[in-house]
Amino acid sequence: MPDPIAIATTRDGLRAICATLRDGGHSLALVPTMGALHAGHLALVAEARRRADRVIVSVFVNPTQFAPHEDFDRYPRRLDADATMLAEAGADLVYAPDAASIYPPGDSTQVHVSGVSEPFEGSFRPHFFGGVASVVARLLIHAAPDVAVFGEKDFQQLAVIRRMTLDLGLPVAIVGAPTVREEDGLALSSRNAYLDPAQRAVAAILPATMLAMRDALRRGADAGEAEATARAALIAAGFGPVDYCSAARADTLEPVLTGAVAPGDFGNTRLLFAAWLGSTRLIDNCGLDG
Ligand code: AMP
């Protein structure tokens, strides 16, 4: 059994421990999460350990990225289990800030990233990326890591964070790590816990449909037709509504609405999916070249 991991619950506490972690010139990596950790998060921790000497994992269910009707209240919270997993994974510190460390009383500062945050998630969850950018900017400023690791599972989020980091000149390298999946292809997600067994069985149809769309596009299918086929397959399987199941330029997130994708563009094309299964919303994505 590894020793229990240190947990900082305030911004000042974090800064004091970060100074100690940096003693001797050690580099720091940060892995931001909302907790309820699974193997996808632990893969980010492993990547962080490859990139830096010391690893901090933040656990904060960020209220500003949830709309009032969304699942902030029922989002799973299990800090003790998370801390045990992180100790075993070789992380050095958990930052589980109290709300006032992130949003001091009277807080009036939001970070808004335009462009890349507007389509897809941005149009279905208009509050979302403002909340994400506002919390990630604060976490990066508090921990001042050399490297921060994010999952490609949230591909548009990664693009928004890269844009924000560039624009604000934050001195941190942003690293994306591949999506970790269940054996049947379902991307690991803390929200998978909401699925009942019947829904869980159906859930794997989402990545299967995405891969079928990828294969069709690689064979030269029209993007609009491939999207319609994918949407119909998801609806037939019991998903609904399907928020999007589209091809997009990987760098700008600009949707590819019609026409075949040229083989030379496969590397810069991403398929982005979001669909509801009962009261659970699943998202996924993949490249056209992988
Ligand atoms: P969350 O706790 O869901 O906000 O996610 C925290 C970080 O873990 C984000 O960078 C996510 O993209 C990443 N992540 C979530 N699920 C996975 C997964 N299945 N594979 C890889 N990274 C993931």
Pocket test for ligand 1, best of 34, 44, 62, 190 (most atoms within 8 A of CB): 44
Please tell me the distance between residue 151's alpha carbon and the centre of ligand 1 in angstroms: 5
Percent of the chain with pLDDT over 70: 100
Q: Which atom of ligand 1 is nearest to the CA of 181?
A: 19
| Nearest to 207, CA basis, from 225, 227, 184, 223 | 184
Written as six digits, the tokens of 186 are 């379902």
Q: Which amino acid is at 219?
A: R
In whole angstroms, what is the distance from residue 34 CA to residue 37 CA? 8
Phi then psi dihedrals of residue 265, to 5 deg? -100, 0
Please tell me the distance between residue 269's alpha carbon and the centre of ligand 1 in angstroms: 21
Please tell me the distance between residue 218's alpha carbon and the centre of ligand 1 in angstroms: 27
Q: Tens digit of pLDDT for each residue in 210-241?
A: 999 999 999 999 999 999 999 999 999 999 99
Using pLDDT thresholds of 50, 70 and 90, give the confidence band for residue 256: very high
Question: Which residues does residue 195 pair with via DSSP β-bridges, in sequence order?
Answer: none
Q: Tens digit of pLDDT for each residue in 51-107?
A: 999 999 999 999 999 999 999 999 999 999 999 999 999 999 999 999 999 999 999
Using pLDDT thresholds of 50, 70 and 90, give the confidence band for residue 32: very high
Q: Which atom of ligand 1 is nearest to the CA of 188?
A: 19
Pocket test for ligand 1, best of 60, 153, 190 (most atoms within 8 A of CB): 153
Q: Contact at 8 Å (CB) between 283 and 204?
A: no
266-288 b/e with 16+ CB inside 10 Å = b? Answer: beebbbbbbbebeebbbbbbbbb
Please tell me the distance between residue 31's alpha carbon and the centre of ligand 1 in angstroms: 9
Using pLDDT thresholds of 50, 70 and 90, give the confidence band for residue 31: very high
Q: Is the pLDDT of residue 187 over 80?
A: yes
pLDDT for res 1: 76
Using pLDDT thresholds of 50, 70 and 90, give the confidence band for residue 251: very high
Mean pLDDT of the chain: 97
Q: Which atom of ligand 1 is nearest to the CA of 190?
A: 3
Annotated active-site residue in 26, 38, 41, 69? 41
pLDDT for res 86: 98
Please tell me the distance between residue 176's alpha carbon and the centre of ligand 1 in angstroms: 10
Please tell me the distance between residue 10's alpha carbon and the centre of ligand 1 in angstroms: 23
Matching residue, tokens 């760098």? 251
224-262 b/e with 16+ CB inside 10 Å = b? Answer: eebbebbbebbeebebeebbbbbbbebeebebbeeebbe
pLDDT for res 2: 81
Q: Is the pLDDT of residue 290 over 80?
A: no
Q: Which atom of ligand 1 is nearest to the CA of 191?
A: 3
Establish whether 41 is a catalytic residue: yes
Taking residues 18-36, report their average pLDDT. Answer: 97
pLDDT for res 174: 98
The helix or strand, by DSSP H or E, that contains position 14, with its residue range, turns out to be: helix 11-21
Taking residues 190-208, report their average pLDDT. Answer: 97
Question: Which residues does residue 242 pair with via DSSP β-bridges, in sequence order?
Answer: 275
Pocket test for ligand 1, best of 38, 154, 158, 182 (most atoms within 8 A of CB): 154
Say if residue 289 is exposed, middle or buried (CB neighbours under 10 Å; 0-12, 13-18, 19+). middle
Pocket of ligand 1 (CB under 6 A): 33-34, 40-41, 43-44, 150-151, 153-154, 177, 179-180, 187-190
The helix/strand/coil state of 134 is helix
Phi then psi dihedrals of residue 31, to 5 deg? -120, 105
Calculate the alpha carbon distances from 6 to 34, 55, 62, 77, 154 in Å.
18, 12, 21, 18, 28
Q: What is the CA radius of gyration of the chain?
A: 19
Question: Which residues does residue 6 pair with via DSSP β-bridges, in sequence order?
Answer: 93
Q: Tens digit of pLDDT for each residue in 125-181?
A: 999 999 999 999 999 999 999 999 999 999 999 999 999 999 999 999 999 999 999
Written as six digits, the tokens of 117 are 């945050």
Cα dihedral 170/176/177/183 (nearest 10): 130
Taking residues 178-188, report their average pLDDT. Answer: 98
Q: Which residues contact 15 (CB under 8 A, 6 or more apart)?
A: 142
pLDDT for res 144: 98
